[in-house]
Amino acid sequence: MPDPRLGPLDNDTLAWVDARMPELSDWHQVIFDLGETAWREYRSSNWYIERLRAEGFSVEPGSGGMPTAFCAQWSNGEGPTIGGYAEYDAVPGNCQAADTRERPREGLTRHAGGHTDPHSALGIGALGGFLAAKAMMERHEIPGRLKFFGEPAEKVRGSKPIHAARGYYDELDAAISFHPFYMLPLCNTVRWNTHCGVAYAMVYSFECDQPETWLAQANDADSPIAAAHSAARAPGANDALVNMYQTSKSLREHMVAAGCGWSMNEFILTAGQATADNLPAQLAQIQYLMRVPTIEMAERVTRVLDANAAAAASISHCSWRRDWVSKSRHGLANHALADATFAALQKVGAPRFDTTEAVTAARDIQRSLGLEPMERPFLAATGELIEPRTAEAELRKQLPDWQEHFTSDDYTEYCWHAPTVRLYIARPTLASPAPGYRYPAWAMNALGGIRATIDPMIACAAKTIGLSVLELMTSNELLTAAQREFEQRTGGGIGGDNWQAPLCDYQPPIGFRWPEYITTERGREWWIPG
């Protein structure tokens, strides 16, 4: 039934999402089951491209030189251009079926990719919102243009810095970024002042390309080949990587001062290319990803890592190089757009996880973990809204006064090209049965795939995004206020005195040995055979 407190456009938007939810639910299951990881989301991106074309969008595949990215556009005449995006990269080692017990998806091992946040629902929620806005623009004859991006490799902060540097966001009048809730108090709210910080990611490669010159002596001339497998050999790439790893761990506290909530993670891409013979490993690669409040801190950490790489290479008889994966900027607030989007969320209300099906699934998970099923198994905050200023005040309690940015996500790239809002909608999250208890990762991942538990979040996100896009399309006052604030914060808009230019000065890092699904004589499998 239409809500008498809302106007015809709002009610039509909400009704459209409700009517299309069976399709949105089916679409989400497709992306969830594909579980493709960073830079290798071929089937997922192709699905979006085909879907958007079927919905009337023109689509540029491979935008920005990234094979799994896209840029889709639809126009209903002269009017504002509003941007949004889907993410669809999963995480290696998190392969979980949409089930209430721990098990991988069919035909795979737990080491394969799986959705954790889940980006599968992020993308479909955003798509649903933009399709709802498109339908209303047609029905109510609202002029304007929609730009919807496919943003791969968010887990390594991959695509958005590249799209930004290549001008894809420059035509936007405003942008909407959505992410499922991942930490309190950012649940069913929007970010206010403290937006995400800077992220740098890079791959260090070590190569032992002249092992024969290790400890070479003049009297070796008569014996160019080692006489025995016990002869000393060059340390090689594996040793360089291990030295880099250990040195960077031990020097971590000397990179950035403690107390600002920064982090650095690493993973090894290759296995060293070693053989069973008396030969050193030729190639080894390690990726680092840091999350810091400022660009200056990121540059400082990079200098230390570079020094560590040079030292590790020197003592291991290797050469080294650094290749960028990401350099993303910190975020920029926009209160006008934040207020408007939260007002849209208030019209929609928090997602409801209290249906019989959702509660049954949650209790089944608790039972499978040996817990006593709870009467109210979901975290109470997932069913409540929190006003942005209140959420900001709670968030600031854990941060020093000087720190302006916290955590990282590359939506921040949009912030420097158009007024941007960051929306958080609650994902299904189990309440702890006792203080300090933490559920295993598979339980959270499963809730992100089970229809009864994840669909309420998708519906809430789609409705809120749809209403927000339409408000921007129809309210010149809101759009003007948002753009005026953007110009004030940047010192004059794009290129202004306080504007931060894109940091990306590298090509898409698609050529590395990123984890992926492969097809062999054994069939289609994860790159680490089960």
pTM to 2 decimals?
0.94
Q: Which stretches of 281-395 are assigned E, i.e. beta strand?
A: 283-292, 319-328
Q: Is there a domain that residue 512 lies in? A: no
Q: Is there a domain that residue 36 lies in? A: yes
Check whether residue 16 and residue 153 sit in a common domain.
yes
Q: Is there a domain that residue 508 lies in? A: no
**In this predicted structure, what is the pLDDT of residue 224?**
57
Among the listed residues 506, 328, 518, 293, the one whose alpha carbon sits nearest the alpha carbon of residue 409: 328
CB 448 within 8 A of CB 118: yes
Instruction: Name the pLDDT band for 157 (thresholds 50, 70, 90).
Output: very high
Among the listed residues 310, 337, 358, 366, the one whose alpha carbon sits nearest the alpha carbon of residue 458: 358
Q: Is there a domain that residue 524 lies in? A: no
For the chain, give the mean pLDDT: 94
Write the pLDDT tens digit of every residue in 191-200. Answer: 999 999 999 9
Check whether residue 343 and residue 317 sit in a common domain.
no
Task: Please list, in sequence order, all residues whose beta carbon lies within 8 angstroms of the beta carbon of residue 249, skipping any fewer than 6 positions away.
Answer: none
- What is the average pLDDT across 221-238? 69
CB 82 within 8 A of CB 172: yes
Check whether residue 242 and residue 344 sit in a common domain.
no
CA atoms within 13 A on the CB side of 88: 32
Instruction: Name the pLDDT band for 253 (thresholds 50, 70, 90).
Output: confident
Check whether residue 101 and residue 125 sit in a common domain.
yes
Check whether residue 42 and residue 134 sit in a common domain.
yes
Write the pLDDT tens digit of every residue in 265-283. Answer: 999 987 666 666 778 889 9
Strands 319-328 and 81-86: unpaired
Q: Which stretches of 224-294 are assigned E, i.e. beta strand?
A: 263-268, 283-292
Would you report the helix, strand and coil content of the chain in percent, each value rounded to 5? 40, 20, 45
- What is the average pLDDT across 512-526? 90
Q: Is there a domain that residue 513 lies in? A: no
Measured in residues, the chain has a length of 530
Among the listed residues 231, 80, 89, 110, the one whose alpha carbon sits nearest the alpha carbon of residue 160: 89
Q: Which stretches of 227-279 are assigned E, i.e. beta strand?
A: 263-268
- What is the average pLDDT across 101-116? 95
Write the pLDDT tens digit of every residue in 34-65. Answer: 999 999 999 999 999 999 999 999 999 999 99
**In this predicted structure, what is the pLDDT of residue 256?**
84
- What is the average pLDDT across 424-446? 96
Check whether residue 287 and residue 420 sit in a common domain.
no
Amino acid symbol at 59 = V
| Percent of the chain scoring above 70 in pLDDT | 96
Any idea which residue has 């192709």 for tokens? Answer: 46
CB 468 within 8 A of CB 26: no
**In this predicted structure, what is the pLDDT of residue 212?**
85
Q: Is there a domain that residue 166 lies in? A: yes
Task: Please list, in sequence order, all residues whose beta carbon lies within 8 angstroms of the beta carbon of residue 525, skipping any fewer than 6 positions away.
Answer: 107, 108, 517, 518, 519
- For residue 259, give its domain range: 200-213+232-327
Whichever domain contains 35, its CATH number is: 3.40.630.10
Question: Which of 267, 294, 327 is the last residue in one of the domains?
Answer: 327
Check whether residue 255 and residue 312 sit in a common domain.
yes
Angle value at C-alpha 376, between 372 and 382, nearest 5 degrees: 125
Q: Is there a domain that residue 223 lies in? A: no
Task: Please list, in sequence order, all residues whose beta carbon lies within 8 angstroms of the beta carbon of residue 346, skipping any fewer than 6 positions away.
Answer: 385
3-state DSSP call for residue 67? coil
Question: Which of 310, 327, 344 is the last residue in one of the domains?
Answer: 327
Which bin fits 207, alpha (ψ -120 to 50), beta or left (φ > 0)? beta
- What is the average pLDDT across 103-121? 95
**In this predicted structure, what is the pLDDT of residue 5?**
85
Check whether residue 286 and residue 312 sit in a common domain.
yes
Check whether residue 237 and residue 125 sit in a common domain.
no
Whichever domain contains 258, its CATH number is: 3.30.70.360
Any idea which residue has 């001062």 for tokens? Answer: 257
Check whether residue 147 and residue 19 sit in a common domain.
yes
**In this predicted structure, what is the pLDDT of residue 218?**
47
Q: Is there a domain that residue 465 lies in? A: yes
**In this predicted structure, what is the pLDDT of residue 522?**
83
Check whether residue 319 and residue 437 sit in a common domain.
no
Q: Residue 514 — φ and ψ, nearest 5°? A: -70, 145
CB 221 within 8 A of CB 429: no
CB 82 within 8 A of CB 147: yes
Question: Which of 327, 345, 363 is the last residue in one of the domains?
Answer: 327
**In this predicted structure, what is the pLDDT of residue 233?**
82
Tally of domains in the chain: 2
Among the listed residues 209, 178, 50, the one whose alpha carbon sits nearest the alpha carbon of residue 462: 178
CA atoms within 13 A on the CB side of 257: 6
Check whether residue 285 and residue 400 sit in a common domain.
no
